[in-house]
Amino acid sequence: MTLADSADTVSALVGAVGAAGVFTAGLPLVTMAQMGVLVGIGVLLDTFLVRTVLVPALALDLGRWWWPGGLSRARPAARNAPGSTPSPTPQDPTRVA
């Protein structure tokens, strides 16, 4: 990303961020408190339900086909720099010999 790309991004977002700030500043205090409570509940649900229960369960259901480790096994030459000794390949615990 270049400096010009960063400047384009900031100039494109400045209107939306400004509008959101003006909108939020005009809300009553009770509404702001309710939004804060809802965001807090969302963070707690994400922490204690999604990341501790759903993500591991999904990983177990899907197996290893989607895990990034499969990409590194697909091209073993890309892992090692030219002239270096190849690193040992870890054993796949899901593969039956």
> pLDDT at position 45, please?
96
Nearest to 90 by CA among 67, 71, 73, 68: 73
pTM of the model: 0.49
pLDDT in tens, 27-63: 999 999 999 999 999 999 999 999 999 988 888 888 7
Name 32's Cβ contacts closer than 8 Å, sequence gap at least 6.
Answer: 24
pLDDT in tens, 86-97: 555 666 556 555
Which strand (E) or helix (H) includes residue 86? none
CA distances from 60 to 6, 15, 43 (A): 39, 43, 24
Please report, for the chain, the start and end positions of each structural domain, with discontinuous segments joined by +.
28-63
Using an 8 Å Cβ cutoff, are 87 and 80 in contact? Answer: yes
